């Protein structure tokens, strides 16, 4: 390991979520700036540091000093101490007061202040406010340093330290030392493997109850992510469990599984095992939709709707197909509807007319337009002229705490909600929408059930259609999209028109067929994408 002492001169990159940085450092041992990479928290360009690490060769950026650990080195010489204490780190503390502190308390003044802040009381010109400023500045990074030493002392990667500290704050060490498996539940992106490694490295037992329970919960949740299912059977849990924890007797497994059920963390219903959060989500979705569907139909003047639609068609120079008109009319009257169909069938396009007519009939109603992605939300906004955003933005999701500011206690101020690209919405996200949606009385789900379901558990669009929610499927490809080979190919695949597919590659320049063996598919896709971007 190489040890350098010096200062951070320039930050080239810093991630607040992970504390990863790329910086230029000026060190006493070299006569040039060094590029350093690693994880640091609460750093500045006034503190002097001891950097410990080694050089690595990055394939793109070349030679870099990879930081493994660091500590602050406090000044000992009078002039350095005065310069440090009068730096912008200590607001309101000028050179005169800094000189008084050093002259009064001596060269070990920083240690004295950190041990007892009231040691500053004998310094001439000191006030309570200044004393607190100095003490808080000097000690603010102590806990971070202690956490850092804990990680480094146990050989634990600092990759997730930023996320962990942002969530637990001053409880970080307590959680790490007593139940690191809590990280799996609290912090998105930390799984069983990471938490288990941390627990084992800090002296955790291989047959510890919290380890076995965490493994069972992880197995249930991971099965859901692997399959899209919101529950699993007992054999499926055991299969997943034995992949991560070995040599645990079946009676011990059964004992802790039953404890989890008694504690309410796992729900057993008709031989189906649910993680409690997923069970509550499904129950809430079902209850919300049942109440929504049972609302009486909206009273609308059908003749007025026909007139408004005709005017809109004339103004836009278009004529809607019968199914599109059916969708518009049904939405105006009903409280819940699914609009589905393949690419190019005009799902999103008719929302413009639908909302235009709705706002004319019900001008006071507040409408919310959302989509899972920013790109889809932007397109929705451009088509309708109504502000649209992502679902996470609507619910005011906080990245660090993984919480939503809009919830049952702080509901959305929306009566009508339109969700585009609904096939990408998972069970837990829809649950979050409904928790915050007690004022919602009309919902339009728009999505293509032929597309891949959400990454997280819950094939919600497919399940809602299967449950009998009113669904209108558009199946006509419109003129402006008939020129797209991609859309034509998609519909051929959906309709299983395999025999006619080969001719499409001759007709349309925007699609190509590449012949390659199965083991080369991923490699070739990567090449094509890299070339395209």
Residue numbers of the domain that contains 50? 2-54
Number of domains in the chain: 5
In a domain, 524, yes or no: yes
What would the two tokens of residue 171 be? 């409880």
Same domain flag for 18 and 43? yes
Question: Which residue intervals of 182-301 are DSSP H helices?
Answer: 182-186, 192-201, 209-227, 234-244, 250-263, 276-293
- In whole angstroms, how far apart are CA 293 and each of 253, 305, 326, 427, 478? 43, 22, 18, 19, 31
| Residue 158, domain member (yes or no) | no
Encode the chain (533 residues) as per-residue pLDDT tens digits: 899 999 999 999 998 777 899 999 999 999 889 999 998 877 888 889 999 999 999 988 899 999 988 888 887 889 889 988 998 888 889 999 999 999 999 989 999 999 999 999 999 999 999 999 999 988 877 787 788 778 877 777 777 787 788 888 889 899 988 889 999 888 877 889 989 988 998 888 999 999 999 999 999 999 999 999 999 999 999 999 999 999 899 999 999 999 999 999 999 999 999 999 999 999 999 999 999 999 988 888 999 999 999 999 899 888 888 889 999 999 999 999 999 987 777 787 788 899 999 999 999 999 999 999 999 999 899 988 889 999 999 999 987 678 899 999 999 999 999 999 999 999 999 999 999 999 999 999 999 888 777 888 988 999 999 999 999 998 877 545 556 666 677 666 666 666 667 677 667 776 777 788 888 888 888 888 887 77
Q: Is 174 exposed, middle or buried (0-12, 13-18, 19+ CB in 10 A)?
A: exposed
Do 226 and 97 lie in one domain? The reply is no
Alpha-carbon separation of residue 470 from 152, 199, 293, 440, 511 (angstroms): 57, 50, 10, 18, 35
Residues 127, 244 within the same domain: no
Pair (443, 337) in one structural domain:
yes
Statement to judge: residues 427 and 336 lie in one domain: yes
Q: What is the pLDDT of residue 97?
A: 94
- Domain assignment present for 417: yes
Q: Does 236 share its domain with 118?
A: no
473 found inside a domain: yes
Same domain, 22 and 104: no
| 497 belongs to a structural domain | yes
Q: Which residues contact 437 (CB under 8 A, 6 or more apart)?
A: 288, 411, 412, 414, 417
345 and 402 in a single domain? The answer is yes
Q: Phi-psi region for residue 303, left (φ > 0), alpha (ψ -120 to 50) or beta?
A: alpha
State whether 337 and 464 are in the same domain: yes
Asked whether residue 63 is assigned to any structural domain, the reply reads no
Residue 496 sits in the same domain as residue 511: yes
Residue finishing a domain among 249, 279, 309: 279
What pLDDT, on the 0 to 100 scale, is given for residue 486?
66
83-119 in b/e form (b: 16+ CB < 10 A) is ebbbbebbeebeeebbbbbbeebeeebbeebeeebeb
Same domain, yes or no, for 408 and 525? no
Q: CATH number for the domain including 242?
A: 1.10.10.2220
> Quick one: 462 and 502 in the same domain?
no
| 161 within a domain of the structure (yes/no) | no
- CA dist 274 and 295 (Å) reads 30
Please tell me what DSSP assigns to residue 273: E
Say if residues 202 and 176 touch (Cβ distance below 8 Å). Answer: yes
Residue 85 belongs to some domain of the structure: yes
For residue 479, what pLDDT is reported?
45
List the CATH number of the domain containing 300.
Answer: 3.40.50.300
CB of 67 closer than 8 Å to CB of 35: no
């Amino acid at each position: 390991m190489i040890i350098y002492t010096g200062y951070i001169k320039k930050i080239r990159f810093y991630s607040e979520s992970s504390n990863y940085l790329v910086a230029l450092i000026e060190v006493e041992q070299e006569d040039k700036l060094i590029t350093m990479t690693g994880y640091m928290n609460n750093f500045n360009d006034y503190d002097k540091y001891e950097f410990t690490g080694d050089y690595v060769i990055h394939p793109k950026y070349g030679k870099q000093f990879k930081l493994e650990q660091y500590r602050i080195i406090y000044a000992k010489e009078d002039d350095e101490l005065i310069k440090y204490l009068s730096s912008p780190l200590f607001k309101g503390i000028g050179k005169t007061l800094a000189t008084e502190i050093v002259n009064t308390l001596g060269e070990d003044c920083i240690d004295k202040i950190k041990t007892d802040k009231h040691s500053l009381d004998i310094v001439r010109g000191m006030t309570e406010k200044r004393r607190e400023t100095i003490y808080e500045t000097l000690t603010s990074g102590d806990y971070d340093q202690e956490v850092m030493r804990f990680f480094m002392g146990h050989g634990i990667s600092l990759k997730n330290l930023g996320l962990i500290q942002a969530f637990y704050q001053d409880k970080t060490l307590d959680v790490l030392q007593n139940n690191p498996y809590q990280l799996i539940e609290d912090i998105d992106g930390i799984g069983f493997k990471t938490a288990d490694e941390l627990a084992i490295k800090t002296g955790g037992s291989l047959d510890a109850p919290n380890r076995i329970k965490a493994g069972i919960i992880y197995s249930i949740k991971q099965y859901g992510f692997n399959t899209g299912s919101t529950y699993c059977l007992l054999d499926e849990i055991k299969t997943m469990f034995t992949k991560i924890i070995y040599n645990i007797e079946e009676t011990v497994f059964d004992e802790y599984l039953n404890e989890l059920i008694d504690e309410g963390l796992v729900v057993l219903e008709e031989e189906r095992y649910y993680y409690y959060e997923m069970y509550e989500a499904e129950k809430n979705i079902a209850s919300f939709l049942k109440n929504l569907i049972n609302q009486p139909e909206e009273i609308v003047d059908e003749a007025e709707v026909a007139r408004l639609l005709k005017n809109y068609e004339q103004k836009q120079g278009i004529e809607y197909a019968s199914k599109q008109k059916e969708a518009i009319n049904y939405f105006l009257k009903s409280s819940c509807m699914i609009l589905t169909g393949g690419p190019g069938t005009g799902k999103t396009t008719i929302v413009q007319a639908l909302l235009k007519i709705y706002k004319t009939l019900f001008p006071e109603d507040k409408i919310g337009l959302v989509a899972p992605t920013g790109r889809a939300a932007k397109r929705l906004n451009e088509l309708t002229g109504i502000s649209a955003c992502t679902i996470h933005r609507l619910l005011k999701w906080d990245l660090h705490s993984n919480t939503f500011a809009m919830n049952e206690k702080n509901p959305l101020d929306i009566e009508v909600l339109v969700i585009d690209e609904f096939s990408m919405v998972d069970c837990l996200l829809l649950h979050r929408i409904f928790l915050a949606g007690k004022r919602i009385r009309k919902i339009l789900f728009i999505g293509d059930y032929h597309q891949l379901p959400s990454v997280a558990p819950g094939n919600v669009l497919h399940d809602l259609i299967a449950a009998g929610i009113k669904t209108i499927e558009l199946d006509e490809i419109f003129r402006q999209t008939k020129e797209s080979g991609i859309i034509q190919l998609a519909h051929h695949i959906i309709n299983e028109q395999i025999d006619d597919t080969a001719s499409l590659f001759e007709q349309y320049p925007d699609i190509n067929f590449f012949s390659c063996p199965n083991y080369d598919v991923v490699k070739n896709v990567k090449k094509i994408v890299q070339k395209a971007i």
